[in-house]
Amino acid sequence: MVADNKFQVLENMGKSPNVVREKAAVTRPRRETLNGHRSVNLWFTGLSGSGKSTLAHAVEERLHLMGCRTYVFDGDNVRHGLCSDLGFSLEDRSENMRRVAEMIGLFIDAGVISLTAFISPLEADRRRVKELIGAENILEIYCNCSLEICESRDVKGLYKKAREGKIKNYTGISSPYEPPKQPDLDLNTGEQSLNECVKIIVAELKDRGVIL
């Protein structure tokens, strides 16, 4: 029973008030030290076509080349996966945001720089995400691009369908977009180049000591 006791001893730590510290010895700070950078979430918000996803992937590429651990969340890997059971009712959108926030929290704990590219049109939703994972862990980046330019891009042809009434509750057309009141970065993605925007974000991460 000696061998067994070795398990017992560690299990017993669970009875102490410090259970998490003693059991989960690999913590966020240790992971950050191993990675050589801090973990954070870059929350891109803006109209469809404002460049959120493009910018998130371009920033990820840059950070990856700098040796950072990164991950981009977008509709593809969230809506079709973790949240595949959810629709677009108010309740479901709210639950979608909650899960995204919880997931970001896990990635932050895991030492990863996550980048989220969701329209996230409502201030209340964005505020709730900050409350759940801590505002200090998020950099809110407003992809500030006029509806005119977004609509002229119309990558997926969805604005056209929305104008024709074939899509209901389309953000910017038939559903509101509430611009962030105090975004950490306000980028004019309609006029600034992709490269300029990437540089601004990387500089901000350096300023904040997230990366070296």
- CA distance linking residue 201 with residue 123, whole number of Å: 22
Q: Are 147 and 172 in contact (CB under 8 A)?
A: yes
Report 30-89 residues binding a copy of itself (CB under 8 A). 30-31, 34-35, 49, 51, 53-55, 57-58, 60-61, 64, 67, 69-73, 76-77, 81-82, 84-85
Q: Which stretch binds a copy of itself (CB under 8 A): 20-28, 37-45, 120-128, 171-179?
A: 20-28
Is the C-alpha dihedral spanning 140, 145, 146, 151 positive or negative? negative
Count of residues of this chain found to bind a copy of itself when the rule CB under 8 A is applied: 66
Q: Restricting to residues 109-138, which ones interact with a copy of itself according to CB under 8 A?
A: 109-112
Single out the residue of 86, 149, 158, 167 in contact with a copy of itself (rule: CB under 8 A).
Answer: 149
Rounded to whole angstroms, how far apart are CA atoms 152 and 15? 61
Out of 84, 120, 174, 193, the active site residue is 120
Q: Does residue 192 bind a copy of itself (CB under 8 A)? A: yes
Nearest distance in Å: CB 74, a copy of itself: 9
- Distance (Å, whole) CA 127 – CA 113: 20
Distance from C-alpha of 208 to C-alpha of 116, rounded to nearest angstrom: 19
Report the nearest approach of a copy of itself to the CB of residue 174 (Å): 22
Strand boundaries in 157-198, DSSP class E? 185-187
